[in-house]
A = this chain, B = another copy of it.
Amino acid sequence: MNKMKKVGIVGYGLTPFSKDDQKIESILLNSVKNLFDNNQNVARDDIDAILVSTNNNSKYLSPILSEMTGIQPKIAHTIESLCNSGTNSIVSAYSYISSGLADMVLISGAERFDSPGQILEWDNSRGEYKHPIYWASIFTKSYKRQYSISDEDLAIVSVKNHKHAKENPNAFSDKTYTVEDVVNSKSLTEDLRLLDCSRPCTGSASIILGSEEKVKQLSDNPVWISGIGQKTTSAGFTKNLSLSSMESTKLSAKNALEMANTNIKNIDVAEIHDAFSVCEPMALESIGFSNDGEGADLVKNLHETNNFKINPRGGLIGCGHPLGATGIAQTIEITQQLQCNAGKRQVDNASIGLVHNMSAAATSSTVLVLEK
């Protein structure tokens, strides 16, 4: 790969994640308003591109957001790739800046609680079950059998991430739970209970990426995107090579770490796509944070030592999962961690962080490495 121009984070904005029944245009606008409130030194005229990340069916949302915010960008369109839309948009923005077509790109991700991205009609391999709970149940059964993992072991993911979310003012959940609470919560399938699942919700997250010059000029506390890895292996669940690991995540992590010229031991803090509790240990193994079958032990150890290293934001399980906003909110959390600006969620001495965002049973993944 050729030496690319540096791209970093100029600023960000968030809304609380909720069950609000708002129009998608308003949801998008709310986090952009928060962004400009937080970054009054950013001139709207300097925004070259606006990318909207969503699964909402409304069209032309990027020009609509442009008009509502008083921005007249060159580039304006919507990007969709189910749950992975947010980091797809971030990588696209990176490429506009790195290529020289743009100096600053605003990315705004938003979703309503009733997003059409929560089902995938096309994938016949799910039989009559279009909802992600179908593949999550099979992943869970398969992972438990392969590594002799119990429901209680997996419940710790939810307990830990709800605990983290309690320290996140924008999280959907503000409750904490015990392992017993999780395993006794409403049973949805043989292997999944309500508290094993991330919740659909309404929310928005916006971020501005900039060229090296713009970031140095506008941020007191620069954070850079140093590694990018993306892979799509298929769209159909049963095309996955394994039902207890994530091939697209493995390849994405490998490529992102190589591009950043670092290795997994140097990662101080990470956001992991815990759409369901089993996804967190599976992803930790596929990324390389632990050996195969030892992801749940790592989660337990972090929980017992009150270490916020993995999913400090509260993960998708604690924060809620507004599909188009998730990857952007994850990237904002890592930015806040590297800027020592994460409040009670702050991880000590965080200088390199990682974001893992995926879609549809990990048939596609993005991994980003961020550094200060």
Interface residues of A (CB under 8 A from B): 1-5, 25, 50, 55, 57-60, 62-64, 66-67, 72-82, 84-85, 88, 91-92, 94-96, 98-101, 116-117, 120-122, 228-236, 239, 255, 359-360, 363-364
Number of copies: 2
Residue of B nearest to A65 (CB): B235
Inter-chain CA distance A166–B267, complex, in Å, is 61
Residue of B nearest to A85 (CB): B77
Are A63 and B80 in contact, CB atoms less than 8 angstroms apart? no
Are A232 and B78 in contact, CB atoms less than 8 angstroms apart? no
Residue of B nearest to A3 (CB): B100
Q: Specify which of A67, A78, A235 lies most central, judged by the most chain B CB atoms within 10 Å of its CB.
A: A235
Residue of B nearest to A236 (CB): B67
Residue of B nearest to A68 (CB): B235
Are A59 and B66 in contact, CB atoms less than 8 angstroms apart? no
- With A4-B100, A77-B80, A77-B88 given, can you name 4 additional A-B contacts, CB distance below 8 Å? A25-B122, A91-B101, A94-B101, A101-B228
Which residues on the B side are within 8 Å of A81 (C-beta)? 60, 62-63, 76-78
Q: How far is the CB of A81 from chain B (nearest CB, A)?
A: 4
Are A55 and B63 in contact, CB atoms less than 8 angstroms apart? no
Are B60 and A359 in contact, CB atoms less than 8 angstroms apart? yes
Which residues on the B side are within 8 Å of A363 (C-beta)? 63
Residue of B nearest to A360 (CB): B60
Are A64 and B122 in contact, CB atoms less than 8 angstroms apart? yes
Q: List 22 A-B contacts (CB under 8 A).
A: A5-B99, A25-B122, A59-B80, A60-B81, A60-B82, A60-B122, A60-B360, A66-B235, A72-B231, A74-B231, A74-B232, A75-B88, A75-B232, A77-B80, A77-B84, A78-B81, A80-B80, A91-B101, A92-B95, A95-B96, A96-B99, A99-B99
